[in-house]
Structure 1
Amino acid sequence: MHNGFCINLTHSTDDHDRATVALVVANAAMASGKDTMVFLSSEGARLAAKGTAETIHEEGFQPMADLLKNFIQAGGKIWVCSPCYKKRSYTEEHLIEGATIVGGAKLVEFLSNDAASVSY
């Protein structure tokens, strides 16, 4: 059985609360030993662009930049929806270290291995 856990994040600068809670849960999943992947789609794709995480700090939580950095350093995967990223006029040169641009097939493959999933 796969030990996968997927967090589909569709928000970033448009909803700091949802984006932050998603990364708090992602870090908790990593700490629990789950093979954790955050899929950034829709507005969430903006988090994969350099400098965006630094603009988000929801009261009562760690800054987004720290949550994202801790998640990646712990071995968490950041996958970015390719069309969502391109739609927002980002290119590979904007991509933060540790993030990977992927197509929908990659997400389907991950989820098809009995991974649990939540969305924010």
Structure 2
Amino acid sequence: MTRSLVVKATAGADAPERCSQAFTVAAVAVAAGADVSLWLTGESAWFALPGRAAQFELAESAPLQDLLDAILAGGRITVCTQCAARRSFGPPDVLPGIRIAGAATFVDEILTDGVQALVY
């Protein structure tokens, strides 16, 4: 049975350690074979746009762009609908493979039996 993990990132460059932790945990879970869904909310929503993850820097952490690429390769990334709208971007603006969805989709994912959810 495949283990599932939903990670909700609420921080971006405003709280770089929390942001990096969310991406790191999601990428490591993908590497471990888990079914991973990373949700980008609040300031982390910016990382759904081309070039934004490459601009992020945090000493002693893996490059955010590498983590993002790993998650996209083996998991799912979703941007909160309201968070994207507040930042004036939509589906045509995000990186290929990233979707925009709302709270109902998030709740559906986390209420599935056996899913573990983490919020950063």
The TM-score, its normalising length taken from structure 1, stands at 0.91
- Is there any run of 5+ residues in structure 1 with no aligned partner, and where? none
Q: Tell me the amino acid that sits aligned with residue 40 of structure 1.
A: L
What is the CA–CA distance in structure 1 between the aligned matches of 2:17 and 2:96, rounded to whole Å? Answer: 23
CA offsets 1:54-108 (integer angstroms, 9 cap, x no match): 11121111211111012211x1100110111110111223201221101111111
Match of 1:118 in 2: 118
User: 8 Å contact 1:4–1:110 — kept in the other structure?
Assistant: no
What is the CA–CA distance in structure 2 between the aligned matches of 1:105 and 1:2, rounded to whole Å? Answer: 23
What is the CA–CA distance in structure 1 between the aligned matches of 2:116 and 2:9, rounded to whole Å? Answer: 14
Q: Which runs of 4+ in 1 moved over 4 A?
A: none
Match of 1:66 in 2: 66
Matched, 1:34 2:34: yes
User: 8 Å contact 1:10–1:43 — kept in the other structure?
Assistant: yes
- Is there any run of 5+ residues in structure 2 with no aligned partner, and where? none
What is the CA–CA distance in structure 2 between the aligned matches of 1:26 and 1:43, rounded to whole Å? Answer: 17
The alignment partner of 2:11 has SS state of coil
CA RMSD of aligned residues (A): 1.5
Match of 2:86 in 1: 87
Count of aligned positions: 119
Percent identity, aligned pairs only, is: 30
User: 8 Å contact 1:29–1:36 — kept in the other structure?
Assistant: yes
CA offsets 1:12-36 (integer angstroms, 9 cap, x no match): 1212211111111111111222110
The alignment partner of 1:8 has SS state of strand
Q: Tell me the amino acid that sits aligned with residue 24 of structure 2.
A: V
TM-superposed CA distance for 1:2, in Å, is 6.9
What is the CA–CA distance in structure 2 between the aligned matches of 1:62 and 1:4, rounded to whole Å? Answer: 23
Match of 2:107 in 1: 108
The TM-score, its normalising length taken from structure 2, stands at 0.91
What is the CA–CA distance in structure 2 between the aligned matches of 1:67 and 1:29, rounded to whole Å? Answer: 11
